[in-house]
Copies of this chain bind each other. A is one copy, B any other.
């Protein structure tokens, strides 16, 4: 078994309203910052042990499908690194 960290990034699908990001963008503009767009996402760093990087990725993808992301409104991606 090898120790891995799987990083799952969960973002809203294009077209889904993101009022939190909108509010953050307006607040930055009020502070004087120039920006064109801002998107927010959740990131989960999961430490786990697995037989291989591929097995760690599969387990993290299943975590995303079953709990971390809502497939109706979210896309997600998974990166795996040895730790």
A54 to chain B, nearest CB (A): 16
Interface residue from B31, B35, B40 paired with A66 (Cβ < 8 Å): B31
Does A49 contact B36, Cβ atoms closer than 8 Å?
Answer: yes
Cα distance A3–B34 when bound, in Å?
A: 12
Interface size class of A (residues with CB under 8 A): 20 to 34
Does A13 make an interface contact (CB < 8 A)?
Answer: no
Cα distance A31–B46 when bound, in Å?
A: 15
Cα distance A42–B40 when bound, in Å?
A: 7
Cα distance A59–B3 when bound, in Å?
A: 36
Q: Which residues of B contact A34 (CB under 8 A)?
A: 48-49
Cα distance A5–B65 when bound, in Å?
A: 27
Point out residues on A near B: beta carbons under 8 Å: 3, 9, 21, 24, 27-28, 31, 33-49, 59, 62-63, 66-68
